[in-house]
Amino acid sequence: MMKKLTDDEINALAEDIYRDRVFTSDHLRQGDLNMLPVIFMPLLFAGKKMIEKMQKDAPGMIYEHFSEAGLRSINGYPTFFSLHIVSKEDAKKVWDKFEQIKKAV
């Protein structure tokens, strides 16, 4: 089970996405989903237990702050040696808040 985000965390993440401080799995171009383990490198080393857990309870979003990006990019995507996983329910809340911010600005 993924940690539930607080309202403050949802608001902060939505604002960071709006201000281009965060890269998310939703930023991938169509057809590039297979790049996730190369972008978010910890996924390459996920053990069988973690993979089974993610298949059972699929994440809604994977993200990391650009300040944590590695020095190299692959196919135009940043690379990260850390990541955060958000549930589908919280990811929807983040993107709803993102849309509110976008409309307000």
Average pLDDT, integer, range 33-38:
91
- Tokens matching residue 97: 């808040």
Which are the contacts of 93, defined by CB distance < 8 A and separation ≥ 6? Answer: 5, 10
CB 9 within 8 A of CB 84: no
pLDDT confidence of residue 79: 97
The pLDDT tens digits for 70-82 are: 999 999 999 999 9
Instruction: List all residues 6 or more positions away from 9 whose beta carbon is below 8 Å from its beta carbon.
Output: none
Domain boundaries, the chain: 7-104
pLDDT digits (tens, 9 = 90+) for 52-100: 777 788 899 999 999 999 999 999 999 999 999 999 999 999 999 999 9
Question: Closest Cα partner for 40 from 49, 50, 99?
Answer: 50
Instruction: Report d(CA 54, CA 48) in Å as an integer.
Output: 10
